[in-house]
Amino acid sequence: MDWPGLIRHLRRQHHEKQASFACRLGIDQATVSRWESGRQIPAPRYREALLCLMNDSAALAGDAPWSEPPPDAMDQQAISAAFAAAPVGLFLLDRNARFTAVNTRMATIMGQPVKFHLGRRPSEVQTDLGRQLEPWLTRILKDGRPLDHIEISGWWQDEPHRWTCALQPVSGPDGTLTAISGAFMASRGEEDERPEAKPRDAWDLVGGDGFEPPTFSV
C-alpha cells in the first residue's frame, strides 16, 4: 500500500493541512509528516482508520475509490528522489554532450544552479572541470565503452579538490548510443595534493598526441 500517496490524497480531498488532518485521527502533525514522507508506516489501527476514511470519502463524493499508482510509476518516483538526493554528483548528457539532467550535488560541484546546466556542455557551465571532462566524452562517443576512475581536479569553494569520475554509455532498444550517464565522487586524500602541484593535460590522459580534441554536433 502506498500510504504516503493515500494520506496526501485524503488531505487534498478534505482540503486539510497536516495539523487538522492529524487532529481528525487523534495524532500529532509530526506523525502525519513522517507518514507522508515515507519515514514511518502507520500503525495497524491507523491503517484501518485511513482505509475507512478513504471509502467514506469516496462514497460521499460519488467518486471511485482511491487506488495505488501503478508499480512502475512508484518506481520512477523513487528513482527521481534518489537521483536528486544522492551524496555524489550525478548527471546525464545527450549525444551532443549537453546536460539533460544533473542532481543537486553535481550542480554544487559545478558551481551553477541545476537549471543552468540544461542544454549546455560541461565547459559552458564550468570551464576548468568541463575541459577536463569533455575529451573523455569524445572517447566514449567513439567507442561506446564505459570509463572508470577518471581523475578530475580543480578548485571548489576556494580550495583545491580532486574527484573520480565514471562515465557509462546509455543505449536505446536498437543498441545505438543515445546518452551518457556519469558520476563525480570525491577522491580520497584530495587534500594531500594541490591540483597545480602535478599538472596533467586532459589530452594526454585520453591517449596522447594521437587523440582528437572533442568535436560535438551543433
Q: Which domains does the chain carry? A: 3-68 (1.10.260), 77-210 (3.30.450.20)
pLDDT score, position 120: 94
pLDDT score, position 84: 83
The candidate with the shortest Cα–Cα distance to 56, out of 47, 66, 45, is 66
pTM for the full model? 0.54
Q: Which pLDDT tens digit goes with each residue over 158-206?
A: 788 899 999 999 988 888 889 999 999 987 544 444 444 343 344 444 4
DSSP 3-state of 105: helix
Q: How far apart are CA 101 and CA 112, in angstroms?
A: 13
pLDDT score, position 67: 58
The candidate with the shortest Cα–Cα distance to 117, out of 104, 136, 128, is 104
Q: Which pLDDT tens digit goes with each residue over 5-20?
A: 888 888 888 888 999 8
Low-confidence ranges of the chain (pLDDT < 50): 59-62, 189-215, 217-218
pLDDT score, position 121: 94
Any idea which residue has 578530475 for its cell? 152
User: Which cell is 38 given?
Assistant: 515515507
Reported as type and span, the H/E element at residue 144 is none
Q: How far apart are CA 42 and CA 159, in angstroms?
A: 46
Any idea which residue has 482505509 for its cell? 51
pLDDT score, position 75: 64
pLDDT score, position 171: 87
